[in-house]
Structure 1
Amino acid sequence: MTPFWQQPWFWPAIVVIVGLPVVLLVLTELQSSLQRRGNSLHKVVGLLRNAVIPVIAILILSVQVTAAVDPSRPVVTQVIATVLGFLVIVFVLNGMNVLLFTNARKGSWREKIPSIFVDIARVILVAIGLAVVFRIVWGTDIGGIFTALGVGSFVIALALQTAVGPIVAGLFLLFEQPFRLGDWLDIGGTRGRVVEVNWRSVHIDTGNGILITPIGSLAGSSFTNLSRTGGTYPVSTSVTFTTDDAPAAVVALLQRVASGLPQLAPSTSPSAEPTGGSGYTVSFEVGGPSQEGPALAQFRMWLWYAARRAGLGLDGDTTDDFVTDERRDAALASIAPTLYLASDDVAALRQVVRLERYAAGEVISRPGVVPTAIRFVLSGSVELRVPFGDEQLPATRVEAGDYVGQTSLTREVVQTFQVALTEVAVLVVPVGAIDTIVRSNPQLARDIGAVIDRRHQDVADTIAARAGQLQSGVTSGSASGTAI
């Protein structure tokens, strides 16, 4: 009698009994490690652990069990082998997809290949793989199958030439990749952002709904990719003023407002010109077409406030209900204690002060200029921001009852950006009037000097804190590099 360890089933069974747990344990640790690092391969390893390896073990046991009963290839074993072949195909394709496309570098050929073509290649490879599996496991004549598929595909292609032609043209359009998801297109005067691309159509968000354009139609027509304009996108809009407004003053106002837009592309300057009558055109450049809408909305809002401050009639309207004698007198009364004003002083100031309003986000004053007036904040909030390289660091806030422009008294340049956080109303007191009040009241000079010192200290503290953060970052980076 042959010893059991010399039986043909013994060693395959030992391989399954001992090897399967060990392999599963190793794959479990590998999957956990990849998942912790955020590597997409953990899903592929999970497929290998949970499906491929167990089916291989089942196939080994099935072959050994059925070999003693039926020396020929039993159906059960063939079915298991077919399932294993399919799982191996899925495993290989998923692994290739992760290695080639999921982690593709931006701008590489792998990242540029449309997903539709990847799907087509995947279907073809699955079909070929299944054909090979059926040939090996079941002995199927795959040559006849491919011949039949080829002839059938030719007949179907002739029958559906009109219907399939645009789709094929669209697929070649996607392979060329004249646009991507997120790009802005101009199709026959309709502008929008590409939000979806599939086999049949391109979905474009126009802001007023989704425009669905057949991909074949897009391939057979001209369109403009607004997102590929060399880094900037031109924006232009028309405005009107009254014919009594001096054109030079209007052009300067338009350029000044557009220059302050946060969407303005770096190293570009806005331009404005009269178009005849009361019309003007202003043009500037932004970072991309997605910024056109926000930039125009902010420009129009800021222009309304700036035109009122400049006394110009935007859209032919020269009225301003905000600037009234009653509101001016109320504002003077509110700042009288701060300036130590007597009744005679208040009466004298009525002739020289003025009311102004600023929109949220507007810059009231910029660094490097000597202010010509002190602005007392009546409502709203102003943030003082310190320029630091390309950054603007918030230093402090000026609320209602406080003032900005205090260095007009000492003829010092402003160190900060004065930015309106909300709609801000101010009372503007010219420096000449402040000088007159200070000469008769030294206490006001001391108060303003204290404010100047406090603001200087705020600026110094802000710069020191930011420099400390940068130094800490450099030190940490150096330490990390040394440890590595």
Structure 2
Amino acid sequence: MIENVFTSSWFYWAVGIAIGLPVGLVALTEWQHALRKRESFLVRPVTLLRNYLLPLGALLLLLTEAKQVPAGATSVRMVGTLVAFVVLVLLLSGVNATLFQGAPAGTWRQRVPTIFIDVGRFLVIAIGLAMIFSFIWGANVSGLFTALGVTSVVIGLTLQNSVGQIISGLLMLFEQPFQLGDWLDTPVARGRVVEVNWRAVHLETSTGLQITPNSVLAGASFTNLSRPVGKHKLTVTTVFSLDDPPNQVCAMLARVAADLPQRRQDAAVFAAPLGASEYRTTIPLASPADDGVAKTAFLQWVWYAARREGLHLNEAGGQFSTPEQVADAVHHVVAPTLRLGSDDQRELIPNATLERYGAGEVLQRAGEVPERMTFIVSGRVRLNGGTDDGTEITIGTLDEGGFLGQSTLTRQAVIGNAHAIDEVTVVHVEREHVETMVQRNPLLLQEFGRAIEERRAHARKALKAASE
């Protein structure tokens, strides 16, 4: 009896399965943990192999080899069907992990759209299931494929327009001329790509969601504003008077554009005359999403800057700094700060200038030595300081009666920027006239020195707190 057991083939199959299954599970578990630590895409195929294929394969061998169950038995067919299906899923998962999920950037494998992968997976599963039912269960699947083929032809002829759009969309997706998040300028709309499906591309525009069929994009030319990366530029055309010096106009436009917060810092702005009183300003921006905000701010700032420099934007001019307005500003704002009497005020009025700045404009730049003092007549000004990582933090705010440029007397560079929070009206007094007033009242120099140190100390404290 014992000799018959050892000479039977089923005994060795049973012992092999009893030993091989635990050993295989332990080995696959260690492999699974190692792949998970490396965040490998092969974790899912190995998990399928460990949790499903290995136990089912052991069960199938146990039935057919150890227990000698006939291959035509229902239990063997059911287990064999499960094993074949898991092998099919494992094959698809392994191919997807090795070819597509781990594909290097820029290769054809990385550019293959998910739709193509899904369609291919569906076809492989359909063919695999047909083969499983044919070889394991003996089913006749040829009639099913014939019926499916005839049905596909009928559906294709009925829906040829829709199918054409789908094919156009698939071909365009394979080429990948754009990705989600890119900005497109098409013949029908301009916006950001938020969705791409088999039939259409969805663009988020300023007026709503624009649905553009893939066949329209595939048959027309369009511009991808987001590619190449870091090359997007905004072009703005302005008109000035023929009497305005072109060099002065271009310098003013370039200076205003350079102060825009949306400007890409690694590229320079460029302004040039086009003839017939027109000027073109090219502004490099980080993203097409900033076009609207940057253009609005630029045109607003140019309006104020042109009037400050006596230029005629759109061939229009205007007189803002009248002697009466300057006298009123000197009397209410400058005189209390500089402690000016009536005679001093009358002497200063011809040498003072009244100017306006738009919201967001720069009144003072970090690192420059002021050539004049600036007194705020109306509006608010925000003082900013730069941290080590390049970000700006708010140091303080000045409102009516405040002043900037007090370091003009000590010839010290300012440590922060000053931006207009809203429309700001200021009075400028040149350095030599401030010196004259200070010589008449030496205590002012001490007060200015104290103000400079207080602001610097406050700025250092704010910057230190921001860096911690």
What is the rounded CA distance, in whole Å, between the counterparts of 1:21 and 1:154 in structure 2? 48
1:387-406 alignment, distance < 5 Å: 391=390, 396-397=395-396, 399-400=398-399, 403-406=403-406
Is the contact made by 1:275 and 1:281 (CA closer than 8 Å) also made in structure 2? no
The reply to whether residue 306 of structure 1 matches residue 305 of structure 2 is: yes
**d(CA) in 1 for partners of 2:342, 2:45:** 84
Shift of 1:13: 6.1
Answering whether residue 97 of structure 2 is matched by residue 79 of structure 1, we say no
Please give the residue correspondences for 1:55-94 in structure 2 after superposition, counting only pairs within 5 Å. Answer: 55-56=56-57, 58-60=59-61, 63=64, 67=67, 71-94=70-93
**Alignment deviations for residues 86-126 of structure 1 (CA, whole Å, 9 cap, x no partner):** 22322332233233323433223322222222222222332
Partner SS, residue 138 of structure 1: coil
- Structure 1 residue 186: deviation in Å? 2.8
- Which residue of structure 2 aligns with residue 472 of structure 1? none
**Partner of residue 362, structure 1:** 361
Q: TM-score, normalised by structure 2?
A: 0.77
SS in 1 for 2:211: strand
Does the Cα contact within 8 Å between 1:202 and 1:214 map onto a contact in 2? yes
Counterparts of 1:331 and 1:96, CA distance in 2? 80
Separation in structure 2 between the aligned mates of residue 212 and residue 270 of structure 1, nearest angstrom: 36
**Residue 234 of structure 2 aligns with which residue?**
235
Letter of the structure 1 residue corresponding to residue 217 of structure 2: L
User: Does the Cα contact within 8 Å between 1:361 and 1:421 map onto a contact in 2?
Assistant: yes
Cα deviation for residue 435 of structure 1 reads 0.6
For 1:104 and 1:127, the matched residues in 2 are separated by: 26
Q: Which structure 2 residues correspond to residues 18-57 of structure 1 after superposition, within 5 A?
A: 39-56=40-57
Letter of the aligned partner of 2:371 in structure 1?
T
Aligned partner of 2:190: which letter?
Answer: R
Query: What does residue 127 of structure 1 align with?
Result: 126
- The code of the aligned residue for 2:438 comes to V
Q: Name the CA distance, whole Å, in 2 between partners of 1:281 and 1:33.
A: 60
Work out whether residues 395 and 462 of structure 2, in 8 Å CA contact, stay in contact via their aligned partners in 1.
Answer: no
Q: Work out whether 1:218 is the aligned partner of 2:213.
A: no
C-alpha distance in 2, partners of 1:184/1:387? 32
Post-superposition CA distance 1:310-339 (Å, at most 9, x none): 455656775699999679746754555543
Unpaired runs of 5+ in structure 2? none
Provide the C-alpha distance between the structure 2 equivalents of 1:247 and 1:262, rounded to a whole number of angstroms. 27
TM-superposed deviation, 1:281: 4.5
For residues 270-308 of structure 1, what are the alpha-carbon distances to aligned partners after superposition, in whole Å with 9 as ceiling and x for unaligned?
22436647x654443434533322321221232344345
Q: Between 302-311 and 26-35, report the one with greater CA deviation.
A: 26-35
Following the alignment from structure 2 to structure 1, what is the Cα–Cα distance between the partners of residues 37 and 323?
66
Closer/same/farther in 2, CA of residues 9 and 419 from structure 1, 3 Å limit: farther
- Secondary structure (helix, strand or coil) at the match of 1:185 reads strand
Rounded Cα–Cα distance in structure 1 between residues aligned with 2:461 and 2:172: 57
Measure the CA separation in 1 of the matches of 2:5 and 2:346. 117
Letter in 1 for 2:78: V
Q: Take 1:52 and 1:45, find their aligned partners in 2: how far apart are those partners?
A: 10
2 CA distance for matches of 1:427 and 1:306? 15
Q: Which residue of 2 aligns with 1:205?
A: 204
Moved more, 184-193 or 4-13: 4-13
Q: Distance in 2 between matches of 1:402 and 1:45?
A: 71
2:445 match: 445
2:270 corresponds to which residue? 270
2:408 maps to what in 1? Answer: 408
SS of the residue corresponding to residue 106 of structure 2 reads coil
Aligned residue for 2:180? 181
Equivalent in the alignment of 1:290: 289
Range with bigger deviation, 112-121 or 97-106? 97-106
| Cα distance change on mapping 1:82 and 1:465 into 2, 3 Å | same
Q: Residue 436 of structure 1 aligns to which amino acid in structure 2?
A: T
Distance 2:429 2:103 in 1: 61
Give the structure 2 partner of residue 428 of structure 1: 428
Counterpart amino acid of residue 108 in structure 1: T
- For 2:293 and 2:32, locate their aligned partners in 1 and report how far apart those are by CA, in whole Å: 46
Q: Specify the code of the residue in structure 2 equivalent to 1:448.
A: F
Question: Match for 2:192: what amino acid?
Answer: R
Q: Separation in 1 of the partners of 2:403 and 2:385?
A: 15
Asked if 1:246 corresponds to 2:244, the answer is: yes
Look up the match of 1:339.
338
**CA distances 1:158-178 after superposition (whole Å, capped 9, x unpaired):** 746944344334433332333
Change over 3 Å in CA distance of 1:218–1:74 after alignment to 2: same
Pairs aligned (count):
461
Using the alignment, how far apart are the partners of 2:115 and 2:160 within structure 1? 21
Where does residue 482 of structure 1 map in the other structure?
Answer: none
Q: What is the correspondence of 1:312-331 to structure 2 with a 5 Å cutoff? A: 314=313, 329=328
Q: Which moved more, 1:116-125 or 1:337-346?
A: 337-346
What is the letter of the counterpart of residue 422 of structure 2? E
Matches within 5 A, 1:464-479: none
What letter matches 2:129 in structure 1? Answer: L
Structure 2 residue identity aligned to 1:405: G
Paired position in structure 2 for 1:478: none
Task: Look up the equivalent residue of 2:207 and give its one-letter code.
Answer: N
Amino acid at match of 1:190: A
User: Using a 3 Å threshold, how does the CA distance of structure 1 residues 64 and 341 change in structure 2: closer, same or farther?
Assistant: farther
Q: CA deviation at 1:441?
A: 1.8
- For residue 261 of structure 1, what is the aligned residue in structure 2? 260
Identity of aligned residues (%): 36
1:187·1:222 contact (CA, 8 Å) conserved in 2? yes
Shift of 1:439: 0.5
Q: Structure 1 stretch 369-378 or stretch 454-463: which is displaced more?
A: 454-463
Structure 1: tracts of 5 or more residues without a match: 470-484
Please give the alpha-carbon distance, in whole angstroms, between the structure 1 residues aligned to 2:174 and 2:97.
20
Q: Distance in 1 between matches of 2:23 and 2:335?
A: 87
SS in 2 for 1:284: strand
Contact 1:385 1:419 (C-alpha < 8 Å) held by counterparts: no
Q: 1:149 to 1:432 in 2, by over 3 A?
A: farther
Cα deviation, residue 373, structure 1 = 0.9
**Counterpart Cα distance in 2 of 1:80 and 1:63:** 10
The equivalent residue for 1:479 is none
Conservation of the 8 A alpha-carbon contact between 2:182 and 2:226? yes
The residue type paired with residue 444 of structure 1 is L
Q: Is the 8 A contact 2:335 2:345 kept in 1?
A: yes
Partner of 1:480: none
Match of 2:171 in 1: 172
Could you tell me how far apart the structure 2 residues matched to 1:336 and 1:25 are?
A: 88
Higher mean C-alpha displacement, 154-163 vs 217-226: 154-163
Task: Name the Cα RMSD after superposition.
Answer: 4.6
Check conservation: 1:257, 1:302, Cα contact below 8 A.
yes
Query: Partners in 1 of 2:164 and 2:111 — Cα distance?
Result: 23
